[in-house]
Amino acid sequence: MEPQSGIKAWQWIVTVIVIIILIIIGVLVFGGDKTDTTAIDNPGTSVPSSTTGVNRIVMSDQYPGNIVYLSSVQFEKGGWVVIHADNAGQPGAIIGQTYFEKGINPGRITLTKATVEGGTYYAMLHSDNGDKTFDATKDLPLKDANGSIIMKIFRAAASVGAEIKG
């Protein structure tokens, strides 16, 4: 009976240590300086975000289908995340959009046209003119301090976990 209780105590100690490490990592990753974020979240690419530092998008490659999931999107003011199909290596037709309130939010976007295996897509941040109705001519793409559009390029892949390279 004695060895079993020793094993259980050891398991509790390891569990507590792992939880503490995860909390520390979470604070370092998500609780850092909000003025230095990444605008275009591509592997190997680092671009400063908007002048105020609070407009960004975090997501990964997606499974093919009619829904795109966002890990988080952050807006200084409310705005739109707009999904574009690929057009010869550039954002093309809009295939979905969802409005997000200011702050940090996870989310999902239902598409009008499903993503397909191997396709490249663009999640782009757009402003809102105050009416919370998307109009591509009035709700323009947000730009970072360098004048680059804030967006995330992603792919649709059936094996998403194997496709992500860190």
Instruction: Give pLDDT tens digits for 25-69.
Output: 877 777 655 444 334 444 333 333 334 458 999 999 999 999 999
79 with 149, same domain? yes
How many domains does the chain divide into?
Answer: 2
129 with 88, same domain? yes
**74 or 7, greater pLDDT:** 74
Of 70, 49, 45, nearest to 121 (Cα)? 70
75 with 144, same domain? yes
Answer whether residue 39 is part of any domain.
Answer: no
The overall average pLDDT reported for the chain is 82
134 with 73, same domain? yes
| Burial (CB count <10 Å: 0-12, 13-18, 19+), residue 149 | middle
The predicted model scores a pTM of 0.65
28 with 61, same domain? no
> Which stretches does DSSP call E strand in 18-165?
56-58, 65-75, 79-87, 90-100, 103-115, 120-127, 151-155
Residue 63: domain span: 56-163
Cα–Cα distance, 95 to 121 (Å, whole number):
10
